[in-house]
Amino acid sequence: MSSNNASTNTNGGSVTSTTPTSKPADTKPVDTKPVDTKPVDTKSTDTTPVDTKSTDTKSTDTKSTDTKSTDTKSTDTKSTDTTSSENTSSIDDITKTFNTIFSNSNIVLVLWFLAAYFISYAVLGTFSSSLTGPEYMLKIVDVLILIAIFAYLISYYYYKPESETNIKKTTYNTLNDTNTLIYTGLFLVLYNLIAFVFHIPTSGSIAPVSLWILSTLATVVFTITAIVLFCKYVLGISILDADSIKAFWKGDSSDSTSEDETDNQTPSSGGSKEVFNISNNLYTYEDARAVCSAYGARLATYDEIEDAYNNGGEWCNYGWSEGQMAYFPTQKATWEELQKTPKKKNNCGRPGINGGYMENPYIKFGVNCFGKKPNPTDKDIKAMAANKLQPKTEEDSLIDKKVQFWKDNADKLLNMNAFNRNSWSEY
């Protein structure tokens, strides 16, 4: 009992005593209460800085929001301008596209297509009742090919006003070309091969008319070209280069050509007829006749060229002459002068009349004409004064270039000494 009273007095008051076994169980949770209040106090203390930070964040967010709203307004203004410019450019693009699609040429093509469609529809309608499936498909292909050929011919005439002249020149060049023989031959081989593989009829009522036209045309071109080239390169006869035929292919007449070319020449000196040489080597044998006719002359014969040689004439240049001959005369004095230079000694042949019969009439030579020689031009006089009889070698051309260089730069590069201290020249 005494021990219970002593424990009660330490708390500063009278407290009703209780059973000692029950007190320890009740006091333990009481002692833990202040421990529980400490985190509560700590939380209340920590709440203040948290609130401050949140306040600062709000102000910062408000500023950034204002800045973003300002930037958004400027961005909206720029995007509005960009959108308007894009709309304008898109309208222009649409207009250009519309004009391109609906141009005059495209409208014409559409009309031609519609016309071809209705024509083919009408043609196929007439055969549809009497044709089977494969025959019907052949007729479709036939009509389409005919339409393509017809459209090509129309466009050729439509876009080329001078179609008649163009056709003549094209045909002339085609028949004179060896490639034509090769291409038409390959076409015929491929045509027959395809017809054999795909069982395309090439004869009879069901044969495609368009393919028959193409094969027949290719056969005709192949045959004519073969004949022309055989005569040209084997027999030496040019069928298409005859005066009358050639004038037809070129779209003019030989008489008018001769008159026009003659009128453009320098008036004749009025002397007797003589042999004169056209120097540039650009002419075949048939061309040579036309060239002489342009001067109111004709091709010179051997006797006329020999007579010119006996009178001192010479020109170191082959010229087509009568009888498919090519001649040029060389005087002995000129020949002896050329012998002094080993590289030039054979430039002008031998003394006398050089040349003879040329088997190939398509070699390009000059022309020996006989008639009244036209008056010389300034260029002719300068060439004659320079005595340019024989052609220059590469060394001559190189020396001429060096001489011209020193002439052009003499005052800059060449320093000349005086004759002595007292005079510039001896004389």
Q: Tell whether 118 and 195 lie within a shared domain.
A: yes
Instruction: At 24, list the tokens.
Output: 């320890």
pTM of the model: 0.35
Taking 60 as the threshold, does the pLDDT of residue 100 lie above it? yes
Query: Is 375 within 8 Å of 268 (Cβ atoms)?
Result: yes
What are the pLDDT digits (tens) for 286-295? Answer: 889 999 998 8
Query: Does the residue 75 lie in any domain?
Result: no
Cα–Cα distance for residue pair 151/95, rounded to 1 Å: 30
362 and 273 in a common domain = yes
Is 273 part of any domain? yes
Q: Give the least confident one: 101-105, 213-217, 314-318, 360-364.
A: 101-105
Q: Can you tell me the distance from the alpha carbon of 389 to that of 300, in angstroms, rounded to the nearest whole number?
A: 20
In terms of domains, do 276 and 402 share one?
yes
Same domain for 275 and 393, yes or no, is yes
Please compute, for residue 197, the number of CA atoms within 13 A of its CA located in the half-sphere on the CB side.
6
State the sign of the Cα–Cα–Cα–Cα dihedral 15, 21, 23, 26: negative
Residue with tokens 């009128």: 263
CB atoms within 10 A of CB 270: 7
* Alpha-carbon separation of residue 56 from 52, 53, 62, 69, 385 (angstroms): 6, 5, 10, 20, 108
**Of 101-105, 136-140, 191-195, where does the model show the most confidence?**
191-195
Q: Does a structural domain hold residue 225? A: yes
Residues 134 and 190 in one domain: yes
Residue 179 lies in a domain: yes
Task: Count up the domains in the chain and report the number.
Answer: 2
What's the CA angle centered on 313, arms 307 and 315, to 5 degrees?
125
| Secondary structure of the chain as H, E, C letters | CHHHHHHHHCCCCCCCCCCCCCHHHHHHHHHCHHHHHHHHHHHHHHHHHHHHHHHHHHHHHHHHHHHHHHHHHHHHHHHHHHHHHHHHHHHHHHHHHHHHHCCHHHHHHHHHHHHHHHHHHHHHHHHCCCCCHHHHHHHHHHHHHHHHHHHHHHHHHHHCCCHHHHHHHHHHHHHCCHHHHHHHHHHHHHHHHHHHHCCCCCCCCCCCHHHHHHHHHHHHHHHHHHHHHHHHHCCCCCCCCCHHHHHHHCCCCHHHHHHHHHHCCCCECCCCCEEEEEEEEEECHHHHHHHHHHCCCEECCHHHHHHHHHCCCCCCCCEEECCCEEEEEECHHHHHHHCCCCCCCCCCCCCEEEEEECCCCCCCEEEEEEECCECCCHHHHHHHHCCCCCCCCHHHHHHHHHHHHHHHCHHHHCCCCCCCCCCCCCC
Domain extent for 213: 112-233
Residues 212 and 290 in one domain: no
pLDDT-based confidence at 116, cuts 50/70/90?
low
What gap in Å lies between CA 109 and CA 147, rounded to an integer?
13
Q: How far apart are CA 281 and CA 217, in angstroms?
A: 38
Mean pLDDT of 117-128: 57
Q: Which of 84-98, 204-218, 219-233, 345-359 has the lowest mean pLDDT?
A: 84-98
For residues 228 and 275, state if they share a domain: no
Contacts for 248 with CB less than 8 Å, ≥ 6 apart: 168
| One domain, residues 291 and 341 | yes
Per the prediction, the chain carries an average pLDDT of: 69
Instruction: Name the amino acid, one letter, at 404.
Output: Q
Distance separating alpha carbons of residues 270 and 90, to the nearest angstrom: 77
pLDDT digits (tens, 9 = 90+) for 286-332: 889 999 998 899 999 999 999 999 998 998 889 999 999 999 999 99
Is 58 within the bounds of a domain? Answer: no
- Rg of the chain over all Cα atoms, to the nearest angstrom: 55
Q: What is the CATH number of the domain that holds 350?
A: 3.10.100.10
Do both 223 and 353 map to the same domain? Answer: no
- Residue 20 CB contacts under 8 Å (≥ 6 apart), including other chains: 4
Local confidence band at 195 (pLDDT 50, 70, 90 cut-offs): confident
Q: Express as a percent the part of the chain with pLDDT over 70.
A: 49
Q: Which of 258, 263, 314, 250 is nearest to 289 (CA)?
A: 258
Domain co-membership, 295 together with 385: yes
CB 240 within 8 A of CB 246: yes
Kindly tell me the sign of the dihedral angle through the C-alpha atoms of 224, 226, 229, 233. Answer: negative
Query: Within this chain, do residues 275 and 363 fall inside the same structural domain, yes or no?
Result: yes
**pLDDT tens-digit profile of 59-98?**
444 444 444 444 444 445 455 555 555 666 667 667 766 6
With a CB cutoff of 8 Å and minimum separation 6, the contacts of 290 are: 243, 254, 257, 258
Residue 32 lies in a domain: no
Residues 215 and 275 in one domain: no
pLDDT tens-digit profile of 28-56? 444 444 444 444 444 434 444 444 344 44
pLDDT given at position 122: 60
Residue 414 lies in a domain: no
Please give the pLDDT value at position 280.
83
In a domain, 346, yes or no: yes
The answer to whether the beta carbons of residues 241 and 247 sit under 8 Å apart is no
Q: Rounded to an integer, what distance in angstroms lies between the CA atom of residue 423 and that of residue 291?
A: 61
